[in-house]
A = this chain, B = another copy of it.
């Protein structure tokens, strides 16, 4: 007898097959007609398959009539067309085997609704719920789509280091990594200052968790052409918000011989591909999110897929904001950082479309972004989407050795600390560009989940590292 998933068993094509399915009971309902309906789920899809267990089964009275939410079972039987219109199939059980019970007195996932806050405290069980099962499938789909998009275009997946001794671009506060005994670390002699002797640490120097793989990714792009990273990234900022995690997954493509326009076109195609794949491959889960979480998510994604992204320079954006007659909390002037209210005005009111802002003031952006001929702006880009704001940030990189070194000095960085990065401009330098996309922001946007802690299996935030 062939084992199939619940997803397969629910397809009309399965009718007539003798199958084995294995999963967890969602509900049991006993009919007066002398049989029970079991709703069975195995995580392969949002919906359950209905199993009809007849009282003639040998363990009906003893076992089947006592099955409850969370019990694990193996069911064998015949897939039949269902007379009900909510489902294509049902399974007439010939055997039901119980694996594990779940005491309804203590099992936290009974039929009643639970708050997302409560479910966060049982992150090890929450993927058994409809919402978190759906999030897991969408997250998987987005991740697969990311890989497929780049692989199909000949990008190489590159693993940049997690533990690093360089602090990248000063992109954020960093976690320290060490094997020294924190209670009593070895110290330099008092006449050498008495500080901690990092020569005795594992890596013989202070090390941190990476905030971005970009700089290392550039070394690969400047040899292999088109590459992407996709891995965990860290920020030690004490941000207790619905949009920040201390540990999150980031995708960072980097392309040799790409300028900012190429970068924009790639990023736009990339987002559209992810959203198309999710709508196509997770249709049932997306219908669930659209019904239960946010009634606009499907329409929002469809509109983005169909839209031409607006491209607008920072300078144009400032002019538009100044001319808007709107009263903003933060006043606008050239050189200021744009706030969420400004971004929302542009994407939601002015353009009503995803918007790529580019050519930002050089003073607002890191040293590695290419300086424009005007000397005042750099080839940075941010892609803004309705509701969440920035979803992608990127730039064309400064490929001119002298300009790069000047920019580093301007920002108080010592080029000698980045000698390997500077070498890329010293030897066979090429125009190149790249961007970064936070996986969790995308999953939040796609599902409509309001708290980022709910779109990663085990969120790490200030005070939280359970499990």
Using a CB–CB distance below 8 Å, which chain A residues touch chain B? 3, 5, 7, 22-25, 42-44, 70-72, 74, 99-103, 106-107, 109, 122-125, 127-128, 132-133, 136-137, 139-140, 143-144, 147, 151, 154, 156-166, 173, 175-180, 182-183, 185, 195-196, 202-205, 207, 209, 216, 219-220, 222-225, 231-232, 234, 236, 238, 246-247, 249, 256-257, 399, 420-421, 423-431, 456-458, 460, 462-467
Question: A175-B178, A223-B125 known; A136 and B156 CB under 8 Å?
Answer: yes
Beta-carbon contact of B182 and A157 below 8 Å: no
Other A-B contacts than A5-B225, A202-B463, 7 sampled, CB-CB below 8 A, are A3-B257, A43-B225, A72-B429, A100-B428, A124-B424, A179-B236, A232-B232
Contacts of A123 in B (CB 8 A): 219, 420
Find A125's partner among B103, B165, B423 (CB 8 Å cutoff). B423
A161 to B440, CA, bound (A): 14
* Closest chain B residue, CB of each to CB of A25: B428
A312 to B458, CA, bound (A): 38
Beta-carbon contact of B428 and A70 below 8 Å: yes
Beta-carbon contact of B133 and A224 below 8 Å: yes
Question: A182-B178, A257-B74, A428-B72 known; A467 and B223 CB under 8 Å?
Answer: no
A122 to B427, CA, bound (A): 13
Shortest distance from the beta carbon of A74 to any chain B beta carbon, whole Å: 7
Beta-carbon contact of A179 and B173 below 8 Å: yes
Contacts of A257 in B (CB 8 A): 3, 22, 74
Contacts of A176 in B (CB 8 A): 177-179, 182
Contacts of A22 in B (CB 8 A): 256-257, 430
Question: A140-B158, A163-B460, A420-B467 known; A43 and B177 CB under 8 Å?
Answer: no
Beta-carbon contact of A127 and B177 below 8 Å: no
Beta-carbon contact of A161 and B203 below 8 Å: no
Copy number of this protein in the oligomer?
Answer: 2
Find A99's partner among B24, B99, B136, B431 (CB 8 Å cutoff). B431
Beta-carbon contact of B429 and A100 below 8 Å: yes
Beta-carbon contact of B247 and A44 below 8 Å: no
Beta-carbon contact of A460 and B203 below 8 Å: yes
A196 to B182, CA, bound (A): 8
Contacts of A424 in B (CB 8 A): 124
Q: Can you name 13 A-B residue pairings with CB atoms under 8 Å?
A: A23-B225, A99-B429, A102-B426, A122-B420, A125-B427, A132-B223, A159-B457, A161-B467, A162-B234, A176-B177, A177-B209, A205-B465, A420-B467
A25 to B427, CA, bound (A): 11
Beta-carbon contact of B159 and A465 below 8 Å: no
Best-surrounded residue of A124, A160, A166, A247 (most CB of chain B within 10 A): A124
Beta-carbon contact of A466 and B165 below 8 Å: yes
A287 to B209, CA, bound (A): 37
Beta-carbon contact of A204 and B463 below 8 Å: yes
Shortest distance from the beta carbon of A269 to any chain B beta carbon, whole Å: 16
Question: A175-B179, A232-B231 known; A423 and B124 CB under 8 Å?
Answer: yes
* Closest chain B residue, CB of each to CB of A249: B159
Question: A428-B101, A458-B160 known; A124 and B420 CB under 8 Å?
Answer: yes
* Closest chain B residue, CB of each to CB of A203: B465
A397 to B249, CA, bound (A): 28
Find A203's partner among B5, B23, B462 (CB 8 Å cutoff). B462
Shortest distance from the beta carbon of A453 to any chain B beta carbon, whole Å: 12
Contacts of A203 in B (CB 8 A): 246, 460, 462-465
Beta-carbon contact of B127 and A458 below 8 Å: no
Beta-carbon contact of B127 and A71 below 8 Å: no
Contacts of A101 in B (CB 8 A): 428
* Closest chain B residue, CB of each to CB of A206: B182
